[in-house]
Amino acid sequence: MKILDVLQEDAVLVDLKSQDKKGVIEELALPVARAVGKKHEELVRVLMEREGLGSTGIGGGIGIPHGKIRDIKSLVIGFGLSRKGIDFESIDGRLTHIFFLLITPENARGLHLKVLARITKILKNEPLKERLLNVVDKGEVLSIIREEDEAF
């Protein structure tokens, strides 16, 4: 699966304003909630419940908040960049700058895990991560991800 197939252009935020974990999740969830036709509060609740099981801050400046929602048709991804970085309770204790928010249908376990693995894999590419950290606008994010999708 290509990331651009499920990344919502309206959910690409290159200048997150939030200063804490819940704020970032609320900010990222807003356009994703619109894309899946669900209430913003429902997405935030599901994502925060998942965070309660253990942080989705995977280290290296990356956070992948994710959750499953009933009655949605397909997987949706949002992207966010915090230029200052925030404490996302990452496993390495470092600030988190790059976020991919992932919402999947409740019954799509295999797809959910495949997309999480795909995002994690591409973000191990340090030059790609550096490029994402230095984007100026949404178009640049989409271009970088398009290049990575084509190389996959």
Task: Tell me the catalytic residues.
Answer: 66
Closest to 81 (Cα-Cα) out of 136, 151, 29: 136
**Contact yes or no for 67/105 (Cβ under 8 A):** no
Cα dist. 107→4, 68, 113 in Å?
22, 8, 12
Closest to 135 (Cα-Cα) out of 11, 13, 14, 4: 14
CA distance 80 to 45: 19
